Structure 1
Amino acid sequence: MSLTDRAYIVQLSIIGFLAIFSTTISKNPVLPLYASSLGANDALIGLISAISPLAGILLSFPVGVISDRLGRRRMLLFAGGVFLVAPLLYLFITDPFMLIPVRFFHGMATAILGPVVSAIIAERFSSTKGERIGQYSSATLYGRTVAPLVGGLLISFFAITPGLFRYQSVYLAAFIAGLIVCLLIFRIPGDKKGLDVTLTFDVFVKSLQVFWADSRLRATAYVDMGTYFIFGAFETFFPVYLVSQGFEVYLIGIFFAVQVLSIALTKPFFGKMADKQDPRYQIMAGLMLLGLSVFLIPFCRAIILLLILTLTSGIGMSLSTVATTKYIADIARKEEMGASMGALSSIMDIGHSSGPFVTGVIITASGYGMGFLSGLLLAIAITVYFMMMTINRKKIQCSLI
């Protein structure tokens, strides 16, 4: 890889780290505390927290389509503007309901960043896109990990200050990170797209039809949906399960640190592996490993066994997610790369949002065993469907003829 390419992926990784740091520190742990201090009840806090992921569900696909037509850099510049402005809006909020539009606006930035950067990497690094996607993804994960720690320290440090400054200091930190993101985006070279392009509603409909008509793209998106369904259920109910079993609260942080590190440290390696071999088998192995690891949690009581399951769940997620993005980049039309990455991101967010709700209903009715079993059953069903639509596709078509 040339020095220019190396500098390019490093710059994208720094952008990803700071951008996700900015959005995460604006949410964890400050958002519920800030909303509560403004007078929000539990129901309103839950609604405020759910708004940002909704932006990803609604906007990731349209953003991908627009980037295919108007250019990646233009969309990143818009995202940079949101990363810059959104943190400042929190400073002027006097009513908790005002947090709803601000959170949606802030969520627009991440809805743009993910699919657009994935498309940029897929186009620029054709032979090593899996490894480069893994590097970028790991950088965003480090930002997501560091942000709550910094946010918590700022809140504690300014705890004696009057008014709401203890919380507003966190959003000032998010603004500084957003400012650097904005400046770095300006250094990204422009592209030639969007010189004579007219965007109409039919363009979006056609792009969606192209994506949905390809069973391979559709099946791969389902894999990401299933992966994040299981992960959403895990990150929501694993801490509750540990507390119910009498574990000390500090151990929860250790378990999640193990999982985060297992994902962040292995993604570049698994991305490189996906570049060198068929990513389809890696996708299926990762999804099944994640589903099986989470399913076994209620049957283990020893700390060492739970640590192993947490580790393997992270490895499974790392295996699958980096390979799905690489596989989408392999099979998507070049002129629809952004749309395909956007659709993948939107469907992933649907799984991430629905996982805690569906699993919570099952756990309430039947306990943790059945709740985590639902994730494994979903993983099995999606793996079989993915196999039929990708690996055994030609055999099925021949049998129908």
Structure 2
Amino acid sequence: MTTSRSFMLICTVGIFCFISYNMVRMPALSLFAESLGAGPERIGLIVSVSTITGVLLKLPSGALSDIYGRRFLLRIGVVAFGLPPFLYPFITDLDALTALRFLHGLATAIFAPTALATVAELYRERRGAALGTYTACTQSGSLLGPFLGGYLIHTAGFDTAFVTAGVFGCVAMVLFYSLHLDVAVPPRTNEGARAVLSEMWKGFAAVVKNKKVLITSVTDAAKMIANGALMAFLPLYGLSVGLNPGEVGMLFTVQAVTSFFSKPIMGRISDRVGRQPLIILGLGICAGTFVCIPYVAMFPVL
């Protein structure tokens, strides 16, 4: 398979994977947990547990892909996208849902860093443009997933939404397994996993010692905490003010569309005026919208 076809394959697989994942994650997950009797604290835990998987496994996944090859990790990743959605209709208690979310989190934890590394290897000379294109493809999945999930919940129920998400994931599996991804397997060395993990730790330590990077990371973490709260509780708030699940899903889609189109524009502006002013502006907008949400009940305004 040529480089361009390999790139098209991984972009297409990424679209289907992230449609599937986001159909389950927003707004379905919070609403499904509430239907099983979860309170606010448990809903927050259930929504966040897949992120915990990512925090624990993304760095090791990248290191393992350096040892065993990109294809091996990507195979595991697409399976983690495709199969778990079919298990959600059989969930009847919150402990099982929490465990399933931890398992489903393996999908992004394994697939995401490995796919990015694969794209970078396919286009060593033009990796910036290639990574941008791949990221745009996965974001398109984030655009469609919440809307499709919310619409299906509203019109056909949770089971239909989950099974449809599984179908999208299985399409990604079939595409990936039926076509040969042309990525070189890294040469095995005698150093083994310990040496790779040691280098990974050295890189982590270097980041921690860089104050600018550390401050930026902490700032982004604070923003992600707010975004996680929005992901968990906006669906519940939307229903409480009279919205249906389809409209709640559309809210997340609108948010993703805004992010999709504004990122390249803001990137160019930051090259001209600097990073700090836009970081402060973005955090201010984030905080301001959170303050306003409790006072807004109409769908067009939300």
Q: CA deviation at 1:144?
A: 1.1
User: Does structure 2 retain, via aligned residues, the 8 Å contact 1:82–1:108?
Assistant: yes
Structure 1 window deviating more from structure 2 (17-26 vs 285-294): it is: 285-294
From the superposition, tell whether residues 213 and 41 of structure 1 become closer, same or farther in structure 2 (CA, over 3 Å). Answer: closer
1:48 is matched with 46
Question: 1:263 and 2:254 equivalent?
Answer: no
User: Does structure 1 retain, via aligned residues, the 8 Å contact 2:207–2:214?
Assistant: no
Render the CA deviation track for 1:170-228: whole Å, top value 9, x for unaligned.
11111111111112222222532265667444542332124433679885576355335
Question: 1:185 and 2:176 equivalent?
Answer: yes
Q: Select which of 149, 162, 165 maps to 1:174.
A: 165
2:220 is matched with 227
User: Does structure 2 retain, via aligned residues, the 8 Å contact 1:21–1:174?
Assistant: yes
Q: Which has the larger radius of gyration?
A: 1
Render the CA deviation track for 1:40-76: whole Å, top value 9, x for unaligned.
2322222111101101100000000000111011000
Render the CA deviation track for 1:304-361: whole Å, top value 9, x for unaligned.
xx8xxxxxxxxxxxxxxxxxxxxxxxxxxxxxxxxxxxxxxxxxxxxxxxxxxxxx9x
What is the TM-score when the length of structure 1 is the normalising length?
0.59
**Matched position secondary structure for 2:105:** helix
List gaps (5 residues or longer) in structure 2.
294-302
User: Does structure 2 retain, via aligned residues, the 8 Å contact 1:70–1:197?
Assistant: no
Q: How many residues align?
A: 282
CA distance in 1, matches of 2:76, 2:272: 33
2:297 is matched with none
Question: 1:292 and 2:285 equivalent?
Answer: no
Instruction: Find runs of 4+ consecutive structure 1 residues off by over 4 angstroms.
Output: 194-202, 214-222, 234-240, 248-259, 266-271, 281-284, 296-299
Question: 1:36 and 2:34 equivalent?
Answer: yes
Amino acid at match of 2:147: L
Q: Select which of 107, 110, 113 maps to 2:108.
A: 110
User: Does structure 2 retain, via aligned residues, the 8 Å contact 1:131–1:268?
Assistant: no
CA distance in 2, matches of 1:198, 1:13: 33
From the superposition, tell whether residues 101 and 8 of structure 1 become closer, same or farther in structure 2 (CA, over 3 Å). Answer: same
Amino acid at match of 2:216: V
Give the aligned CA root-mean-square deviation in angstroms. Answer: 3.9
**Matched position secondary structure for 1:39:** coil
Render the CA deviation track for 1:7-30: whole Å, top value 9, x for unaligned.
333322222221111111112111
What is the TM-score when the length of structure 2 is the normalising length?
0.76
CA distance in 1, matches of 2:32, 2:40: 12
Aligned positions of 1:53-132 closer than 5 A: 53-132=51-130
Render the CA deviation track for 1:77-98: whole Å, top value 9, x for unaligned.
0111111221122132221210
From the superposition, tell whether residues 154 and 296 of structure 1 become closer, same or farther in structure 2 (CA, over 3 Å). Answer: closer
List gaps (5 residues or longer) in structure 1.
159-165, 274-280, 300-305, 307-359, 369-401
**Matched position secondary structure for 2:172:** helix
Render the CA deviation track for 1:265-321: whole Å, top value 9, x for unaligned.
3657889x8xxxxxxx7499346413224326778xxxxxx8xxxxxxxxxxxxxxx
Q: Select which of 206, 210, 217 maps to 1:213.
A: 206
CA distance in 1, matches of 2:255, 2:39: 32
Higher RCO (CA-CA < 8 Å; seq separation 6+): 2
